Amino acid sequence: MSFHKYIIKKDIIPSTNAYAKEILQEEILQNLTIITTTNQTAGKGQTNNSWESTPGENLTFSIIFYPEKIKANEQFVISQKVCIGIINYLKYRNINATIKWPNDIYVDTKKICGILIENILLGSNIKNSIIGIGLNVNQQVFYSNAPNPISMNNITAQKYDIDQELNKVTDFITEKLSEIDFDKSDLTSEYLNNLYRFEKICNYKRKNGSTFAGKIVGIDSIGRLNVQNECNEIETFAFKEIEYLF
Ligand code: BTN
């Protein structure tokens, strides 16, 4: 990696995403600055959930990203790049993971990593993006009502050095984010190649409560999920409009 890494390390803060947002109101940070904490006391998950992490056991960090060439209506590109970066990092650590649409990272049917991306928009541009990542590393037991957590240690029985893993995983993610002249359809193919349940017939529930057997066949330009139903029609779902049934 050729550029210098800027890392802001806090012993204890409520949320690295919230802290990043506060700092960004006052100053401009170096692109790809990383804010991390050993003890995140009020970690935010998607849709107002909280994020559990035993102090010192896992990675909880946010990356500040100034996307130069990504427009507001293309913001799903950021999720795709971050997911692929994390998948590549886990592969490097001999862990086979998949992306559960839109941006959870799964090992089999369990969640190893959650991502909360908060973009500050300015007209049709993204002023900055706060990419929050919670990666379960050494934690062995989870206490919250998170449905299906798993950690790297649960899989490999290894104890990881947290600082070293932060350095590695952020290398993989920032490498992906720094690719400027990327082809969007190549990125989508890479995303689909690593997508959980891609092209497999599985059970789902729609927002209206009806259930069906369907096959994920792709995503559209704004990142919505395309699922082919029993009648061979393609249904398009935005986040939270479809539930995966097991
Ligand atoms: C999810 O619900 O899956 C998203 C979880 C995101 C958690 C990370 S931990 C670091 C960053 N700071 C937060 O408050 N949340 C994100």
Those residues whose C-beta lies under 8 Å from the C-beta of residue 142, and which sit 6 or more positions away, are 52, 136, 149
Cα angle: 122, vertex 128, 133; to 5 degrees: 140
Residue with tokens 């409560």: 209
- Ligand 1 binding site (Cβ under 6 Å of any ligand atom): 15-17, 43-46, 49, 51, 60-62, 104, 114-116, 132-134
CA of 138 to the centre of ligand 1 (A): 17
Segment 123-137, tens digit of pLDDT:
999 999 999 999 999
Domain boundary among 193, 209, 225: 193
Q: Are residue 188 and residue 211 in the same domain, yes or no? A: no
Extract the runs of DSSP E, i.e. beta strands, from the chain. Answer: 7-13, 34-40, 59-65, 98-100, 104-107, 110-122, 125-135, 201-206, 211-219, 225-228, 234-237, 242-244
The answer to whether position 1 is within a domain reads no
Is residue 44 a contact partner of residue 15, using CB atoms and an 8 Å limit?
yes
Residue 2 confidence (pLDDT): 53
The answer to whether position 168 is within a domain reads yes
Q: Answer whether the bond into residue 14 is a cis peptide, omega within 30°.
A: no
CA of 194 to the centre of ligand 1 (A): 21
Is residue 64 a contact partner of residue 20, using CB atoms and an 8 Å limit?
yes
The alpha carbon of 207 is separated from its chain's Cα centroid by a whole number of angstroms, namely 23
Higher pLDDT, 5 or 57: 57
Ligand 1: which residue has its CA nearest to atom 15? 44
Q: Are residue 79 and residue 161 in the same domain, yes or no? A: yes
Segment 7-19, tens digit of pLDDT:
999 999 999 999 9
Residue with tokens 């096959």: 215
Task: State if pTM tops 0.85.
Answer: yes
Give residue 215's identity as a one-letter amino acid code: K
* Ligand 1 atom with minimal separation from the 18 CA: 14
Provide Rg for the chain, Cα atoms: 18
CA of 176 to the centre of ligand 1 (A): 20
Domain boundary among 175, 193, 211: 193
Name the residue range of residue 82's domain.
7-193
Ligand 1: which residue has its CA nearest to atom 7? 134
Q: How many domains does the chain have?
A: 2
Q: Are residue 19 and residue 129 in the same domain, yes or no? A: yes
Could you tell me the pLDDT band of residue 23, with boundaries at 50, 70 and 90? very high
In this structure, what CATH number is given to the domain that contains residue 130? 3.30.930.10
In this structure, what CATH number is given to the domain that contains residue 209? 2.30.30.100
How many helices and strands (H and E) does the chain possess? Answer: 5, 12
Best probe residue, ligand 1, of 60, 131, 144 (max atoms within 8 Å of C-beta):
60
Ligand 1: which residue has its CA nearest to atom 2? 45
Q: Are residue 107 and residue 187 in the same domain, yes or no? A: yes
Q: Are residue 177 and residue 239 in the same domain, yes or no? A: no
Tokens of 174: 């920032």
Q: Are residue 187 and residue 205 in the same domain, yes or no? A: no
